Structure 1
Amino acid sequence: MAMAASHTLSFFLILLSFSASSGAGSIGINYGRVANDLPPPSKVVQLLKANGITRVKLYDTDADVLNALANSGIQVVVALPNELLSSAAADQSFTDKWVQANISQYHPATQFEAIAVGNEVFVDPKNTAQFLVPAMKNVQASLAKHNLNIKISSPVALSALQSSYPPSSGAFKSELIEPVIKPMLDFLHQTGSYLMVNAYPFFAYEANSNKISLDYALFKQNPGNVDSGNGLRYMSLLDAQIDAVYAAMSALKYDDVKVVVSETGWPSKGDSNEVGAGADNAEAYNGNLIKRVSTGSGTPLRPKDPLNVFLFALFNENQKPGPTSERNYGLFYPSEQKVYEVPLTAADASKAPANVSKNQTPAAGEPAASPSRGQTWCVANGKSAMEKLQAALDYACGEGGADCRPIQPGATCYNPNSLEAHASYAFNSYYQRKSRGTGTCDFGGTAYVVTQPPKFGNCEFPTGN
């Protein structure tokens, strides 16, 4: 890695422990096992403990895993899988037996934090959504028989939203609201539980890389996006996604239900068409997310509610179907070796260049920081105030030293003759000359990085490659 080649993953995972134990919010990790080369559960628990991980989320109730987690001090979220929902909804005795076999016999040595009833049922091709709330209620009743105080929720994908942009327009799909969403939120409200949300900025960026800034997706320096509905400024895509869910719940009058991000992550490898997949971006996303959570601040819509997040995932899982990215979300290889690097100590982390936006224009002659990998370009934020954009353009073409000859009258990139187009060309010239260094595409919040070639008429934007 360009910025952290001398560091190891240890502090990254120490930070997981820090944020989980402080009042700042919490970070856990998803322990998926769709693989044939993973270490045994006993070694996995040693790995978790050695790195200070205190919360783990499973996708089943495997006996070997639950026994291995006994007396470890690790909080556990387990799952009742989708294929059992119809049985759990239909028969209280089924959930009585399930709780007895999978929960109560391991308690209290294994510390259960929550049960995820189903997973992304709204996109389940077997149409299990109708069974969700009855199953949740039966599981709750069965837990009560054993005097077990364990939260019950169900992870939903962002695809359950009919609208998510801007965040203030967040709304659930109308066909889901009365049959499932409102009954589920009512259950969560009554039981004091939270809504689990699987949120992946990677997917949104991959599908809209020509519109979404990579820095915005990775919690890096960026001008942010102002929500036209409520005037709030968003500095990261994940914050916007979470607030879209909060807005959707608020529209249904469930303002007191909290959100836990039950899955989020970034793949360290992908297919050629999976824009943004790569180890550098995965390192940046997860590392900056850890810092983000540890600050204790909430989202713009819920600033007093610290973020609680489960990273996806502990290991690369070699048997997951789908594109290459699906098998490359892990922090560890099955060998227990780290996939990418992060700062080793708190002191090193504090010395590392800040990734969070400061909205500062680089000074003339500023040395290039670590260069971005791959082809990227710098373009103007067309939503910026014209005066601010003009001032940034003047700086780039003046003391910034950008090559602005191609945007002069009669030159190759003069047309289209617009402030946004000309500023984009000048900003990109500066950015490329500075080796695409961190902080060299900001210009007082009027610019951001893109990974697709900018399109302004027939003008070709140079790269530093």
Structure 2
Amino acid sequence: MFAQYNAGAQSIGVCNGRDGNNLPSPQAVIDLYRNNGFARMRLYSPDPATLQALRGSNIELILDVPNLDLQALAADTSAATQWVQTNIRNYSFGVRFRYIAVGNEVDPNNGGTNQVSTASYTGLLGISYPPSNGAFRDNVRSFMDPIIRFLVNNGSPLLVNVYPYFSYIGDPVSIQLSYALFTAPGVVVRDPNNNLEYQNLFDALVDAHHAALGRAGGPNLDIVVSESG
């Protein structure tokens, strides 16, 4: 699931993973979205059948450039142009492209992911508590800072995968399960720097990203929660 997350209204979408067997047909998936009022979809790689089924659906789409394609597209401008032509322009009539995610959870400090990405994740935070102290890890600033500058200059949001689950399993002693599951009956965390109160971990993690963006030159950058669960 993902959502536009800023001071205004929030629109909810659902990620459409295509890995697996016995998957429903693309049209059945589109019908499921429409019947349940989901207005946005994330697709992790171009799937022609799904893109075709999206025509005329009015569903807004986040389309990923798969991580395996990043190096080739970064090294060859003509290949990047062809990717856009094949997967975007050929479907521009009838498909509502909202964002293009250039890779997913790319981290140059993890093996095999040595290209930049606009779909970040909470693992890039070195500090997340209290939320106002949020900061990116020192060893990712060299590639995150240029991304943030680019997004600021182009008026684009940062896509972030936010998973309270991983924070909880990493520290189940300090983090209440109800806090991670949106079921806490009252305030669990109060940020001592600004007195903001948090009843769920999700909001705290998003605010930690906002604080980290502020320290990296993007204090007013919008965040799109591109994946959660």
Change (3 A) 1:124 1:34: farther
For residue 110 of structure 1, report the CA deviation from its aligned partner: 1.1
For residue 259 of structure 1, the aligned residue among 219, 223, 226 is: 223
Task: Give the 3-state SS of the residue equivalent to 1:121 in structure 2.
Answer: coil
- Which runs of no fewer than 5 residues in structure 1 stay unpaired? 1-15, 134-153, 266-465
Task: Give the 3-state SS of the residue equivalent to 1:175 in structure 2.
Answer: helix
Determine the structure 2 residue equivalent to 1:111: 96
For residue 222 of structure 1, the aligned residue among 178, 181, 186 is: 186
CA RMSD of aligned residues (A): 1.9
Tell me, yes or no, if the aligned pair for 1:160 and 1:172 is still in contact at 8 Å: yes
Equivalences, count = 223
Task: Give the 3-state SS of the residue equivalent to 2:91 in structure 1.
Answer: coil
Distance (whole Å) between structure 2 residues aligned to residue 223 and residue 189 of structure 1: 33
Tell me, yes or no, if the aligned pair for 1:55 and 1:74 is still in contact at 8 Å: yes
Change (3 A) 1:124 1:101: farther
Tell me, yes or no, if the aligned pair for 1:216 and 1:222 is still in contact at 8 Å: no
Tell me, yes or no, if the aligned pair for 1:215 and 1:222 is still in contact at 8 Å: no
2:158 counterpart of 1:183: no
Tell me, yes or no, if the aligned pair for 1:82 and 1:128 is still in contact at 8 Å: no
Matches within 5 A, 1:401-440: none
- Which runs of no fewer than 5 residues in structure 2 stay unpaired? none
For residue 244 of structure 1, the aligned residue among 204, 208, 216 is: 208
Q: Under a length normalisation based on structure 2, what TM-score does the superposition of the two structures give?
A: 0.91
Distance (whole Å) between structure 2 residues aligned to residue 252 and residue 102 of structure 1: 32
Determine the structure 1 residue equivalent to 2:113: 127
Determine the structure 2 residue equivalent to 1:395: none
For residue 128 of structure 1, report the CA deviation from its aligned partner: 1.9
For residue 55 of structure 2, the aligned residue among 70, 74, 77 is: 70
Which of structures 1 and 2 has the bigger CA Rg? 1
Task: Give the 3-state SS of the residue equivalent to 2:88 in structure 1.
Answer: helix
2:31 counterpart of 1:46: yes
Determine the structure 2 residue equivalent to 1:173: 137
For residue 125 of structure 1, report the CA deviation from its aligned partner: 2.3
Q: Under a length normalisation based on structure 1, what TM-score does the superposition of the two structures give?
A: 0.46
Tell me, yes or no, if the aligned pair for 2:145 and 2:216 is still in contact at 8 Å: yes
Tell me, yes or no, if the aligned pair for 2:148 and 2:217 is still in contact at 8 Å: no
Determine the structure 2 residue equivalent to 1:425: none
Distance (whole Å) between structure 2 residues aligned to residue 253 and residue 157 of structure 1: 18
- Amino acid corresponding to residue 197 of structure 1 in structure 2: V
Distance (whole Å) between structure 1 residues aligned to residue 217 and residue 41 of structure 2: 31
For residue 89 of structure 1, report the CA deviation from its aligned partner: 1.3
Matches within 5 A, 1:283-302: none
Distance (whole Å) between structure 2 residues aligned to residue 51 and residue 223 of structure 1: 31
Query: Could you tell me the percent identity over the aligned residues?
Result: 40
- Amino acid corresponding to residue 208 of structure 1 in structure 2: D
Tell me, yes or no, if the aligned pair for 1:163 and 1:169 is still in contact at 8 Å: yes
- The structure in which a higher percent of residues are strand is 2
C-alpha deviations, 1:381-419, integer Å up to 9, x for none?
A: xxxxxxxxxxxxxxxxxxxxxxxxxxxxxxxxxxxxxxx
Q: Which has the higher contact order (CA 8 A, sep 6+)?
A: 2
Task: Give the 3-state SS of the residue equivalent to 1:39 in structure 2.
Answer: coil
For residue 234 of structure 1, the aligned residue among 198, 201, 219 is: 198
Change (3 A) 1:127 1:50: closer
For residue 215 of structure 1, report the CA deviation from its aligned partner: 2.0
2:179 counterpart of 1:193: no
2:123 counterpart of 1:159: yes
C-alpha deviations, 1:177-220, integer Å up to 9, x for none?
A: 1x211110011011111011111111112222222122222222
For residue 124 of structure 1, report the CA deviation from its aligned partner: 4.8
Distance (whole Å) between structure 2 residues aligned to residue 191 and residue 68 of structure 1: 30
